Chains A and B, each alone.
Chain A
Amino acid sequence: MAGLSRSDVEHVAYLARLGLSAAELDRLQGQLNHILDQYAKLAELDTDAIAPTAQTIELENILRDDVVTPSLSQAAVLANAPQREGAFMVVPPILGGDAS
């Protein structure tokens, strides 16, 4: 299995939305490649005819009645928000710096 290059590690960190220092990226490159080496073992197994298992107990179609049930109050939901304005959470701008 091909190893992860330093720029691969940077790309994955960006996909994962992890801001990592250069030292962290260096360390992770070595560690991730070491762990990926362990994964290579799975290639020994022929799994072409094997169905994947996503969960282990055979529950299907768990449905509930479509009725209104109590939910958290607005105050309870907002209580943990890092930035609030009135009854709203403040989110960062997503349309670029000039949009406002």
Chain B
Amino acid sequence: MTPDLTSLLAHEMSAALRAGEVSSRELASAHLDVAERQNHALNAWLVIDRAGALAQADTADAKLARARAEGGAALGALHPLHGIPVALKDLISVEGGQCTAGSRILEGYRAPYDAHIVEQLRAAGTVFIGKTNMDEFAMGSSNEYSAFGPVSNPWDLDTVPGGSSGGSAAAVAAHHVPLSLGTDTGGSIRQPAALCGIVGMKPTYGRVSRYGIVAFASSLDQIGPFARDARDAAALLHTVSGRDARDSTSAPAPVPDELLHLPDSDDEAVAWLRGRRLGLPREYFVAGMDPDVERRIREGVAFLEDAGAHVEEVSLPHTDYGLATYYIVAPAEASANLARYDGIRYGRSERLEGADFIADYLATRGAGFGAEVKRRIMLGTYALSAGYYDAFYVKAQKVRTLIKRDFDEVFASGIDALVAPTSPSVAFRFGARTADPVAMYLSDACTLPVNMAGLPGISVPCGLSEGLPVGLQLIGPAWSELMLFRAARAFEGLTANAAWRSLAPRDLSLADDSSGPTPTQRAAALAGSV
């Protein structure tokens, strides 16, 4: 058995577990060791739960032993992710555990129940290594808006991992876990996946139940997987998908079992591309995009074309309105969702002697929320306030119709999937975008229209630019996750022998140094040098 268990992909771990070559406890221990060792340098984790993870692993091992004693059929009946370590973004409720959503206002809160996806992951036999860092309430594109400090990108410790699911992405990229879960409201899975050089998918709105997830913008939020390859991400999506009566927006759409059986053979995966029609939306290749990122994307597109896909330029004419639309709709919904943090039922509470209850609210929320969350609550409150509701919120909802219609028309014309950059740039340095909120918002220009339209999108690694990962985004019609995973798997097959595929994140060895600077210290040093 290879000594480095953390370099295995989840499906390789699964095979090794079944073959009796490794135990779930050994897998959990190996991953816990590296997570604990490197968290000083990366800050990807808000909780590393060694005791809980080992207990789950022992349970998984006991079940494996029983299945092995019963014979081959019982082993085969175990879930593909049985015994596999996973990470959960710290806005996913695990009964009895913390769930801060990256915010001081939820410090000390203990989740009274399991999220729906946690129930599903438990049933599958996965092992929870811990909870990952994130931008406060998932608002941000760099993880710099976490109340618990920024996260370093394992490719370059002076750069951000993207956000808001920055911890989930960094943990997978740094081999602390083979799998993690995040949420994506405007790009919060795909953009960090791109910046960290891994696979991340935002499924169709309604694919995964949000029961037990801290809400940001309810018409946009969706849960999705991170992994280091398409097969693993597809298996994780399969595990958490499906209708749940406790989230009325979760849809009764069938969840294809083929998600568990993407081709292992690169040739078979690539053959799927022949004759597919791929659209290149011209509005996603615009000024402001890093030219070297564009080159990587165009090289990726050329690979797809060489493999037999028909690539044609298409237009999504309202793309340019996406940012303004998103930054009305999402803050408006957030301002309503975050009204629940009143300091009375749970969470941080400031009770002022002799003051009225509104003064208590003002004090609790003024002290509990960070600057970006306050900014979004202010924007949303303004956009929904009397006299402005029609001008902002209704107008944005109407433009949302136009954005969705652009996608509908392209797919109706026979395009199977759209190919675009995930992020207009590679990972940027700490502090580079925090001074100007609009500069930070532009990080998601290529991802947020997909949320506005409720569609699935996936980011897959597509090479390096100046040593940092570039993500290629594939976007499909509603419920086309299987097709997107087939396309992603084909792209992996096409690039299987590319030199960058074999590269580990270049600063990973530096992350072992627990006497070096923390991400907070790195960010402060960079701020001082500007």
Binding site for B on A (CB under 8 A): 4, 9, 12-21, 24, 28, 31-32, 34-35, 38-39, 41-42, 44-45, 47, 50-57, 59, 62, 64, 72, 76-77, 79-83, 89, 91-94, 96-97
Contacts and interface: CB of A to CB of B under 8 A. Distances in A.
Contacts of B248: 59, 62
Given A18-B374, A39-B328, A80-B345, A47 B399 contact: yes
Contacts of B339: 17
A56 B328 contact: no
Contact of B454 (A34, A56, A81): A56
B366 A18 contact: yes
B57 to A, nearest CB: 27
Interface string B453-478: 11100000000000000000000001
Contacts of B146: none
Interface string B429-459: 0000000111001000000000011110000
A93 B344 CA distance: 12
Nearest to B95: A76
B385 A39 contact: no
B402 A12 contact: no
Given A59-B251, A80-B347, A32 B382 contact: yes
A54 B397 contact: yes
B327 A35 contact: yes
Nearest to B398: A47
13 contacts: A12-B381, A15-B381, A15-B385, A17-B339, A17-B365, A19-B367, A28-B378, A35-B327, A45-B402, A53-B401, A81-B344, A92-B351, A92-B356
A16 B357 contact: no
A80 B455 CA distance: 36
B45 interface: no
B478 A52 contact: no
Interface of B: 109-110, 112-113, 204-206, 219, 245, 248-249, 251, 318, 320-321, 323-325, 327-328, 335, 339, 343-349, 351, 354, 356-363, 365-367, 369, 371, 374-375, 377-379, 381-382, 385, 392, 394-402, 404, 436-438, 441, 452-455, 478
Contacts of A89: 344-345
B454 A55 contact: yes
Contacts of A92: 344, 351, 356-357, 360
A39 B392 contact: yes
Contacts of B323: 38
A14 B382 CA distance: 11
* Central interface residue in B251, B318, B397, by most chain A CB within 10 Å: B397
B400 A47 contact: no
A91 B357 contact: yes
A44 B400 CA distance: 14
B331 to A, nearest CB: 9
Interface centre among A9, A16, A77 (most CB of B within 10 A): A16
B405 to A, nearest CB: 9
Closest 6 CB pairs of A and B: A56-B454, A19-B366, A19-B362, A52-B397, A82-B349, A80-B346
Contacts of B365: 16-19
Contacts of A14: 362
A93 B454 contact: no
B378 A97 contact: no
Given A32-B382, A51-B398, A81 B346 contact: yes
Given A34-B438, A38-B324, A16 B381 contact: yes
Most chain-A CB neighbours within 10 Å: which of B251, B343, B344, B354? Answer: B344
A38 B327 contact: yes
A76 B112 contact: yes
A21 to B, nearest CB: 8
B398 A50 contact: yes
B402 to A, nearest CB: 6
Given A39-B324, A42-B321, A56-B452, 7 more contacts: A4-B382, A18-B366, A21-B366, A42-B395, A52-B401, A57-B206, A82-B344
B398 A59 contact: no
A55 B402 CA distance: 13
Given A50-B402, A51-B401, A57 B378 contact: no
A56 B397 contact: no
